[in-house]
Structure 1
Amino acid sequence: METERFIGVDLAWAHSGTRPKLNETGVAAIDRQGVVVDCGWTRGIEETTAWITRTAVAGSALVFVDAPLIVDNPAGQRSCEREVGQRYGRWKVSANSTNQNSPRLAGVLLRKALEESGWVYDDGRDEPPTSGRAMSECYPYTTLVGAHELGYDQERPTYKRRPARVPTAQWRAVRARECDRLIERMAGLATADPPLQLASHAVSRRLLAEPSPQGAADYKHREDLLDALLCAWTAALWSRHGLERCQVLGANTPAPAGHAATIIAPARPEQRRPRF
């Protein structure tokens, strides 16, 4: 039996605050043919959990979340986060530090909410699940530089963080152009293995038809959806090719609760953990 649906969640890490509305979470789901069966945005853990459960109605499903799902370190940085910098630093990719004192742990709350609905956390150490409803953690930046199909051979695209070489006054225009280039490359995944067909859904199709906006709120709206689609495709890549195309960061760390805090990351040969 093969997993039938792959869901990506670019989770808003903050789950409370003084704003009248919670930050948006990007969500996307694709099937084994790369068809986008649904995508869009949610707000808050409850709405996101409901969307995931509703979208995974058909058969087995795998959810990849861009947010820390297991946080068992009292301080410092999780091992999987350190390994991001160790394996992908040459491509200018690193990860923020997360621990039990971190203020933004919505991923932990999402994991618990999904577990209450019958989902299971999978740390990837036993390779991809083939049945049931499972969730794992991913990081889209590692997909961008670790999947050769996207062509970021030298460094990550500058569609998020401003490089020092780009003047602040030019940043929004540069960022929008870089985002458009990324969308073009993602459109090329239509013929990849596994595929991602951006044009197959009305919402994701607009990414191809409309130029990236420069306004901060509108741009973030688009970026969240892009990252969700990348998460969904990463889940499909992991399910289809397993350790042949991906590595499990943090796999060798102690797991007191039985599950390790890991990040499943696409990897080129030169990005892989050395074998001893």
Structure 2
Amino acid sequence: MSIERFIGVDLAWRDEAGSAPANETGVAALDQRGIVLEAGWTRGVAATADWVQEVTGDRSALLFVDAPLVVENLTGQRVCERQVGQCYGRWKVSANTTNQASPRRAGVTLLARLQECGWTYHDGRGGPPVDGRLVSECYPYTTLVGVEELGYDVQRPRYKRKPHRMPVAQWRGERAAACDDLVGRLGRLAAADPPMILDSHPRTAGLAALPAPIDDAAYKHREDLIDAVLCAWTAALWYRHGRSRCQVLGASGDPATTAATIIAPTRPGQRITTTIRTGAPR
């Protein structure tokens, strides 16, 4: 057997709260040929889990989620989050802090719901899976700077996170230009190993056909889909190349316990070394 589907979910950290609806979640599914089978948006953990179940059926699948899935630390930052900054900080990539006091942990809820449906958390410490229905955490920024194919050799693209002191009107224009450039670079992945063919689905083809909007809500709608596609391709990259092109952040600790990890594409100069302090024994 082998993994048949690679699923990406850019999960909205805020789920339903009282009368406030959940924010949008971007979702995408690839096959082994790099064909985008499905792509779009859901709202809420329940709807996202249902979409995952529908798009995978009973097939073996690897699901990569951009959201914290395992949060066992009472305070402070998870080791995997700290290692993002240590390994990719030179490219201006860092991670938000998550702990059990964090109010928005939709990823933890999603993992629990999928586990009830037979999915298994995959922390990556044993290398990529052979088959099964597995869920892992990823972070698209590490993919953008961690693969040579996309060409972000100096720093991450500025398609989100407004620079300090930049006027909003100026930022919206620069953000849209950076997003269009990113979509163009994603088109290169059609010839990559593994491939991802953006124009194989109407919604992802539309990313290249139309310029990025200036309006904040419309832009976020587009950004969520881009990040979902990146998550799905990262899953395919991990499955295809394993540790030769990816690393497992947060992998230290007792191998018999569940580890909060982020599976991140990496160039040689971004790899964890023994000189990096993890806060936990190696």
Band of TM-score, shorter chain: over 0.9
**Counterpart AA for 2:56:** A
Q: Matched residues in 2 for 1:26 and 1:138: separation?
A: 14
Three-state SS of the structure 2 residue aligned to 1:260 is coil
Deviation at residue 18 of structure 1 after TM alignment: 4.7
Three-state SS of the structure 2 residue aligned to 1:135 is strand
Q: Which consecutive aligned stretches of 4+ in structure 1 deviate over 6 angstroms post-superposition? A: none
The runs of 5 or more residues in structure 1 that have no matched partner are: none
Q: Is the 8 A contact 1:8 1:65 kept in 2?
A: yes
Give runs of aligned pairs for residues 1-276 of structure 1, distance below 5 A: 1-18=1-18, 20-57=20-57, 59-164=59-164, 166-254=166-254, 258-275=257-274
Q: Matched residues in 2 for 1:98 and 1:112: separation?
A: 17
Three-state SS of the structure 2 residue aligned to 1:229 is helix
**Counterpart AA for 2:128:** P
Equivalent residue pairs, number? 275
Q: Over aligned residue pairs, what C-alpha RMSD do you find?
A: 1.3
Three-state SS of the structure 1 residue aligned to 2:67 is coil
Deviation at residue 14 of structure 1 after TM alignment: 1.0
Q: Is the 8 A contact 1:255 1:261 kept in 2?
A: no
Deviation at residue 145 of structure 1 after TM alignment: 0.3
Deviation at residue 44 of structure 1 after TM alignment: 0.5
Q: Matched residues in 1 for 2:32 and 2:58: separation?
A: 12
> What do the CA deviations read for 1:226-260 (whole angstroms, capped 9, x no partner)?
0000000000000000000000000003477x210
**Counterpart AA for 1:16:** E
Q: Cα–Cα, structure 1 residues 165 and 185, in superposed 2: closer, same or farther, change >3 Å?
A: farther
Deviation at residue 19 of structure 1 after TM alignment: 5.2
Q: Matched residues in 2 for 1:201 and 1:94: separation?
A: 31
Deviation at residue 93 of structure 1 after TM alignment: 0.3
Q: Matched residues in 1 for 2:168 and 2:9: separation?
A: 30
TM-score (structure 1 length as normaliser): 0.97
Q: Matched residues in 2 for 1:59 and 1:96: separation?
A: 33
**Counterpart AA for 1:127:** G
Deviation at residue 15 of structure 1 after TM alignment: 1.4
**Counterpart AA for 1:13:** W
Q: Cα–Cα, structure 1 residues 130 and 144, in superposed 2: closer, same or farther, change >3 Å?
A: same
Q: Matched residues in 1 for 2:3 and 2:274: separation?
A: 29
Percent sequence identity over matched residues?
60
TM-score (structure 2 length as normaliser): 0.95
Q: Matched residues in 2 for 1:269 and 1:225: separation?
A: 29
The runs of 5 or more residues in structure 2 that have no matched partner are: 276-282
Deviation at residue 103 of structure 1 after TM alignment: 0.2
Deviation at residue 214 of structure 1 after TM alignment: 0.5
Three-state SS of the structure 2 residue aligned to 1:50 is helix
**Counterpart AA for 2:48:** T
Deviation at residue 58 of structure 1 after TM alignment: 5.5
Q: Is the 8 A contact 2:120 2:133 kept in 1?
A: yes
> What do the CA deviations read for 1:158-204 (whole angstroms, capped 9, x no partner)?
00011237433301011000000000000110000001100000111
Deviation at residue 5 of structure 1 after TM alignment: 0.5
> What do the CA deviations read for 1:91-146 (whole angstroms, capped 9, x no partner)?
00000000001000000000000000000000000001111100000000000000
